[in-house]
A and B are shown apart, each in its own frame.
Chain A
C-alpha cells in the first residue's frame, strides 16, 4: 500500500465532511460511511474533486456486520488502512433534555452509535491499523470535559469516548498504533439545530470564544484531524487536541 487510506464515519455532512475534504487535499484515499446515501456519495464526489480518491458505503455505525463488511471492502480495494476517524454520532445528540427526565430508553441510540459503535469499529479496524502502524482518531467534544446542563447524555457519551481512548492508547501503543481525540467546535448543521432548540446557546457558545467565531469544518477542524492521521503526529498518542478556538475552560 503506497497511498494513504483513511476511513471517516458519519461523514455525509458537518465535521466529517470537513475532515474528508482536508484529507482529500493531501491526495489521500478517503472512505466515507454514513446512513444517508445521497449525501454520503456527494461527499465522496467532493473528495475526488479536491484531489483525493473518494469512496462511499452506506453503513450504520452500530451494525457490527455492516462495519466489518465495509472494512473488508476497504482492504480488498485499497490494499490496507492507515487511519480511522470515529465521527458518527447519534441523531439525538443536539436534543436538549432535563437530566432526571430523559427516558432511559432514549440513551440507547447514543450508546449504540458512539460507544458500541466505537467498540465495533475498533474490533474491525485494529488488525489493519496494526499492519500499517496507523492512527485512530475519535471526535469528542468540549461538552465531554465540562458537562452540559441540557445535553447531559451527549456530554457523557463524549467523555466516555475520551476515557476509552486513554486506555486504548496504552493497549495499542506497543503495537505501533496511535489513538487520539479531537474536540472540535464547528459550525455544522447539527450545531445549527442545537441553536434552534436552545436560542440562548449561540450567545453562550460564542461569548466565551477568544477567536469569536465558530470553526470551519474543512479549514479549522479537518487539518487538525489530518495531522493526527499523518506521520507528522507519529509521537502523539492518548491525547485530546482542542480545536475549539480556545473556548473550553478545561484543558
Chain B
C-alpha cells in the first residue's frame, strides 16, 4: 500500500496484509512554509521518492491513497493561494508520483486500486479543491488502465466521503443510513473486491463507497 501515514490507512494495510510505503508530507504542512511555491520548489522530493520506490519486487496488488492530514472546508473564493496549493496542487503532484510507482511495481496481471477522498456531488460546496483532486484521480486511473492493460494490469478507483461528509446533509438523505461509511468497513470491502479475482474483467472504473450518495 502506497499511502499517507494516517491511522485509517495503516489499519487498512494491516487488514489487507499489505506492506506500507508512506507518501511524503505536503511541504505546506510542515516546518515554516514560505508560500504556495513551496510545492514546486520541493518537487525534487517527490521525484526522488518516486524513483526510489519504483524499483523493487513486483506486487500483484497495490492500493494507493494520498490523503491530507486533515480537511478544512471553505468557499472557493475564500480559499487563500497557500490553502489552494495545499488542497489542490500538492495532491495533484503527489497522486501522480504515487500512481507512477504503482504502475512500475504492479506485476503482470496484477491490480491497482486508487482510494481517493471525494465529496458527494450534493455535498460538494466548500470542497472544490477536493472535488477537483478526486476527478483528477479518476482520469489518472483511466489513463493507467489504458497504458497498463496490455500486460493484464487492472486499475480501478474507490471513492469515499468518510472524512468530508457534512453533519447535516442536503435532502434527500443517502440511501443507506450508514452514510458516509467507514474506512475500515465499507471502504475496505470495496477495495478488497476490486483487488480480488472475482472482477477480472473490470478496469478503469470507479466505485463510490458512499452508501448511495453518488449516482455516477
Contacts and interface: CB of A to CB of B under 8 A. Distances in A.
Interface of A: 64, 98-105, 107-108, 111, 115-116, 119, 122-123, 126, 143-153, 155-164, 166-168, 170-171, 238
B202 interface: no
B179 interface: no
A93 B131 CA distance: 22
Given A160-B133, A171-B75, A149 B143 contact: yes
A97 to B, nearest CB: 11
A159 B88 contact: no
B86 to A, nearest CB: 12
Contact of B143 (A101, A116, A123, A152): A152
Contact of A103 (B47, B104, B128, B135): B47
A167 B145 CA distance: 27
Interface of B: 36, 40, 43-44, 46-47, 50, 54, 75-77, 79, 81, 84-85, 88-89, 92-93, 96-97, 99-101, 103-104, 119, 121-122, 124-129, 131-147, 204
A171 B50 contact: no
Question: Interface on chain B toward A: helix, strand, loop, or mixed SS?
Answer: helix
Best-buried of A105, A148, A167 by chain B (most CB within 10 Å): A167
B81 A111 contact: no
A137 to B, nearest CB: 16
Contact of A99 (B77, B89, B100, B132): B100
A155 B93 contact: no
A116 B89 contact: yes
Closest 5 CB pairs of A and B: A147-B142, A163-B135, A147-B143, A159-B139, A100-B100
| Best-surrounded residue of A100, A108, A126, A163 (most CB of chain B within 10 A) | A163
A121 to B, nearest CB: 11
A102 B36 CA distance: 22
Given A123-B77, A149-B146, A167-B126, A144 B135 contact: yes
A146 B14 CA distance: 32
A107 B139 CA distance: 15
A91 B144 CA distance: 23
A106 to B, nearest CB: 9
B54 A156 contact: no
B89 A166 contact: no
Given A122-B76, A149-B146, A111 B128 contact: no
15 contacts: A64-B81, A100-B50, A100-B100, A104-B43, A104-B46, A104-B50, A104-B96, A111-B89, A144-B135, A147-B145, A149-B143, A158-B139, A160-B88, A160-B133, A171-B125
A198 B128 CA distance: 34
A167 B75 CA distance: 9
Nearest to A111: B89
Contacts of B119: 167
A148 B143 contact: yes
B132 A160 contact: yes
A153 B128 contact: no
Nearest to B83: A119
Contact of B124 (A101, A144, A170): A170
Given A111-B93, A122-B77, A170-B125, A159 B146 contact: no
